[in-house]
Amino acid sequence: MAAVAQVLSTNSVSPLREMGAYEALWAKTSATFKRLADRFRLHPEAVPSDFVDPAVADKFALQAIEILKRARVTRFGVLVHGTGEYPERLREAAHPVELLYYQGWLDLAESQCVAVVGTRAPSSDAAKRTRSLVRRLVADKFTVVSGLARGIDTIAHETAIAEGGLTIAVIGTALSRAYPAENRALQRRVAHEYLLISQVPIIRFTHQGPKQNRIFFPERNVTMSALTQATIIVEAGETSGTLVQANAALKQGRKLFILDSCFRNPGLTWPARLEKQGAIRVKEYDEIARHLAS
């Protein structure tokens, strides 16, 4: 082999090939984020294509692209661990992902990011609190990160955009899908003007049912926490998926803020429990701002 080709092929990745290899690894029914992460832990320098036959990877890549094209996703990229723009902070997740799909403006991932998350069915008070919180975050130049779910997430993204701020959505579906469907336009807007991130394998997601796909939602909360310097919980029920993110934030050494109103709800046990584990109870934004600055 010519030396130049040898130098470069040894030290490079092809995004298409890695994407196909990632999809192929996920095609095995036994695949989970944990199992994949365990495998890569044993081979820290590896990339997905080290474990998949190139012809197989290329076949899967074309299939995934076909699905994206049908969903009218024509412009997207992949972030591969070990290459330039992969956010190193993501390695602090319990099962770090080797590859992420994205659409939009990657440099937002390196801005000062704070996640605002909560219930899909917020009270009117919680909706109001979310809006005022996001306004203050935007005024302080934080990028508002959320999960594009119904409720608090949607309000967080919409308020950030309306206030002229920046936002990132870390979604629990493949790039080819918007969930809930009513957020399709918002998802497109985030993808085009801001940053949309998904770790969900496209082919697996498309071929299995909604029930099996539920596993992807909590996993994205772990990634969202790892991506951000803090998570703020506005309102969440006793069994909310938001609590996955809360636990991940504490485990990853991120700041976790819980609004005081959650503590005042007698039906909830999680606020006190998380406070004992290190979460910060806050009455107003200024307290959050002080902690973020320290």
Partner 1 sequence: MPVRLIRVDALILDNQDHYYLDRNDQCYFIGEYTARRGYKFSETNQLIFNLKKSPQLRGTNQWYWKEQAIAQAGRLLRTVLTVGLNQDVLRQTVFVPVPPSKARGDPLYDDRMLRVLDELSRGLDLDVRELVLQRQSTSAAHERDDRPTPEELAANYYINDECREPVPTNVIICDDLLTSGSHFKAMQSILGDAFPNVPIAGVFIARRVPQTDDPADTNAVI
Q: Which residues contribute to the site for partner 1 (CB under 8 A)?
A: 2-8, 10-17, 19, 45, 47, 61, 65, 69, 72, 74-75, 77-78, 80, 82-86, 103, 105-111, 166, 188-189, 191-193
Toward partner 1, which CB reaches closer, 49 or 130?
49
Residue 12 Cβ vs partner 1, minimum distance, rounded to whole Å: 4
Amino acid at 292: L
- In sequence order, which residues have a C-beta less than 8 Å from that of residue 59 and are 6 or more positions away? 20
Write down how long the chain is: 294
Contact 98, 81 (CB under 8 A): yes
State the Cα–Cα distance between residues 110 and 143, nearest whole angstrom.
10
Toward partner 1, which CB reaches closer, 190 or 259?
190
Residue 166 Cβ vs partner 1, minimum distance, rounded to whole Å: 8
C-alpha pair distances (Å), 205 with each of 21, 26, 55, 216: 15, 9, 22, 9
Q: Is 109 helix (H, G, I), strand (E, B) or coil?
A: helix
Residue 102 Cβ vs partner 1, minimum distance, rounded to whole Å: 10
Per-residue burial over 223-253, b = 16 or more CB atoms within 10 Å of its CB, e = otherwise: bbbbbbbbbbbbbbbeebbbbbbbbbbbbbe
Q: Which tokens hold the place of 184?
A: 């399709």
Toward partner 1, which CB reaches closer, 69 or 283?
69
Toward partner 1, which CB reaches closer, 111 or 261?
111
Cα angle 98, 209, 117; round to 5: 60
Toward partner 1, which CB reaches closer, 105 or 217?
105
Residue 44 Cβ vs partner 1, minimum distance, rounded to whole Å: 11
Toward partner 1, which CB reaches closer, 54 or 278?
54
